[in-house]
């Protein structure tokens, strides 16, 4: 499976595997934008840096942003054992994890038809605390290398104390769907003659010039920010 984004255009070659839609994950609004192909969904997850996790604790609903990584058919998150979110998820509460990538602002001729080109994934389920030391270490390595490929081998490895002070939770990719919008604005037919510019302004997350730590040791080569660029 290959997937590319050029400007605001999302081009895919589908894989042969699908996430079976459930009543909870089937895209009801504009179902033609629904995506269940595993390869496409994995590509969206692998391009993102942040997810948002929704859960309810003590009759209060929260939506918390956090980093994540995908390994095979699981999403991993991590943090302090003191985290309210991780404590709730560790207890087995239902959760909803979402990832959204903004590809373009869609400017129409009418205010009503302005939109955005995007790719989003929704994952439902319950998380499990990772207790196996090998799996836990592999997940932490994946977190680091997800942000900067190859970074794990360049830095100090976690100590036993740091490992003990870190929860790692996993969420199986079982109930999953994506929704994708691509292409130009869709105006009412009579509005196409209006003298108003319409089209797509491509958007993307890209690294800027790195800013060195003031306490950086002298003589080190500059960091290559292109290593972080998901679409280079």
Question: Does residue 164 lie in a domain region?
Answer: yes
pLDDT of residue 32: 87
Average pLDDT over residues 28-39: 89
Does residue 222 form part of some domain? no
pLDDT at 26: 87
Q: How confident is the model at residue 15 (pLDDT cuts 50, 70, 90)?
A: low
Closest CA to 149 of 75, 232, 66: 232
In a domain, 208, yes or no: no
> Is residue 205 included in any domain, yes or no?
no
Kindly state whether residue 54 falls inside one of the protein's structural domains. yes
Domain region containing 107: 2-182
pLDDT tier, 33 (very low <50, low <70, confident <90, very high otherwise):
confident
* Confidence bin at 52 (pLDDT 50/70/90): very high
The 3-class SS string of the chain reads: CEEEEECCEEEEECCCCECCCCCCCCCCCCHHHEECEHHHHHHHHHHCCEEEEEEEECCEEEEEEEECEEECCEEEEEECCCCHHHHHHHCCCCEEEEEEEEEEEEECCCHHHCEEEEEEEEEEECCEECCCHHHHHHHHHHHHHHHCCCHHHHCCCCCHHHHHCCEEEEEECCEEEEEEECCCCCCCHHHHHCCCCCEEEECCCCCCCCCCCCCCCCCCCCCCHHHHCCCC
In a domain, 191, yes or no: no
Predicted confidence at residue 72, as pLDDT, reads 94
Tell me the pTM.
0.89
pLDDT at 28: 86
pLDDT of residue 4: 43
pLDDT single digits (tens) 71-102 = 999 999 999 999 999 999 999 999 999 999 99
Per-residue pLDDT at 205 exceeds 80: yes
Reported as a single tens digit per residue, the pLDDT across 135-171 is 999 999 999 999 999 999 999 999 999 999 999 999 9
**How high is the mean pLDDT of the chain?**
91
| Residue of 31 and 3 predicted with greater confidence | 31
CATH of the domain at 143: 2.30.110.10
**Which pLDDT band holds residue 8 (cuts at 50, 70, 90)?**
very low
**In the structure, what pLDDT confidence band is assigned to residue 14 with cuts at 50, 70 and 90?**
low
Residue 104 located in a structural domain: yes
Record the tokens describing residue 48, joined without a space: 């993102």
Residue 52: name the closest of 27, 3, 85 by CA: 85
Phi/psi for 81 (5° steps) reads: -60, -20
Do residues 112 and 101 make contact, with C-beta atoms less than 8 angstroms apart? no
Is 215 a member of any domain?
no
Overall domain count for the chain: 1
């Amino acid at each position: 499976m290959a997937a590319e984004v050029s400007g605001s255009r999302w081009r895919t070659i589908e894989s042969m595997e699908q996430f079976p839609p459930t009543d909870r994950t089937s895209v009801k609004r504009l179902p033609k934008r629904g995506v269940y192909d595993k390869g496409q969904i994995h590509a969206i997850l692998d391009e993102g840096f942040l997810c948002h996790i929704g859960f309810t604790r003590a009759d209060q609903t929260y939506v918390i942003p956090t980093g994540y990584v995908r390994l095979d058919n699981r999403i991993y998150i991590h943090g302090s054992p003191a985290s309210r979110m991780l404590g709730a998820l560790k207890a087995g509460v239902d959760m909803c994890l979402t990832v959204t990538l903004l590809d373009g602002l869609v400017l129409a001729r009418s205010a009503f038809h302005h939109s955005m080109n995007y790719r989003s994934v929704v994952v439902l389920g319950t998380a499990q605390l990772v207790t196996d030391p090998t799996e836990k270490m592999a997940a932490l390595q994946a977190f680091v290398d997800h942000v900067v490929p190859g970074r794990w081998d360049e830095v100090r490895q976690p100590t036993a104390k740091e490992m003990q002070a870190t929860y790692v939770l996993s969420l199986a990719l079982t109930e999953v769907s994506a929704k994708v919008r691509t292409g130009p604005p869709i105006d009412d037919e009579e509005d196409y003659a209006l003298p108003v510019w319409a089209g797509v302004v491509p958007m993307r997350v890209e690294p800027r010039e790195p800013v060195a730590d003031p306490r950086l040791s002298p003589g080190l080569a500059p960091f290559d920010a292109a290593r972080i660029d998901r679409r280079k």
